[in-house]
Amino acid sequence: MRADARDNRARIMTAADEVFGRSPGASTDDVAKLAGVGIATVFRHFPTKTDLLEAVLTQRLEKLRDRAIELADSDDAGEAFFGFFTQVVSESASKLAIAEALTAAGSAAGADARNAGSGLRESFDALLSRAQRTGAVRSDAGFPEVYALLIGASRGATATGLEPEVRDRMLGLIYDGLRPKA
C-alpha cells in the first residue's frame, strides 16, 4: 500500500472510531468529512459500512488486548488488573456504540473481531491470574464470574449513562468484593 493510501486508511479508521463511537446511527459520509477524504476514498478502503465497522471494532479490541498484554509485566499486578478493569468500563460506551452500529447494519462481528475478542479474554484472564497469585484479587474469584462482572459493569455504566464519579464508586464496590477478605 502506498504511503498516502496508508495515511488515508489510518485517518478513516481514527475518524470512524470517533464518529461511530459517539453515534451508532452515524454515516460513512460523517466519517469521510472528519477524515478529510472523499466518500469514494472511504469505500475504496472499506467497500461497505459493515466492513468499516468491523475494522473499527477489531482495532478497539486489539488495542485493549495489547494494553492487557503490556500490563501483564507490571510491577504491581493488582494495580494493573484494577486499572485495566477501570479502563475497559470507562471506554465501554463508545465500544458498545460501535458494536450496536454493526448490529444495526445487519451484521455480527466477523472473524477478525471474534479473534481479537478471544485474545482480549485471554489477556484479561492472564491479568486476573497474576493478580490472584500476588494476593491482590481473591483466589476463589473464577474467570467466568470476573469477566461477567466486567461485562455487566461496562453495559450497566453505558446503559444508565453513569457520571464518572458514580461509575468510580460502583467500581469501588466491585473491587471491594474482588479483594481478599482481611
Q: What confidence tens digit (pLDDT) does each residue in 142-162 have?
A: 999 999 999 899 888 877 777
* pLDDT score at 142: 95
Cell of 174: 466491585
8 Å CB contact between 63 and 44: no
Of the candidate CATH numbers 1.10.3470, 1.20.144, 1.10.10, 1.20.120, the domain formed by 1-47 belongs to 1.10.10
The pLDDT-based confidence of 107 (bands split at 50, 70, 90) is low
- CATH 1.10.357.10 segments of the chain: 50-178
pTM of the model: 0.85
62 has a pLDDT exceeding 80: yes
Would you state the CATH architecture of domain 50-178?
A: Orthogonal Bundle (1.10)
Buried/exposed code over 104-116 (b: 16+ C-beta within 10 A; e: otherwise): eeeeebbeebeeb
Are residues 50 and 104 in contact, defined by beta-carbon separation less than 8 angstroms?
no
Within the chain, all domains assigned CATH 1.10.10 are found at 1-47
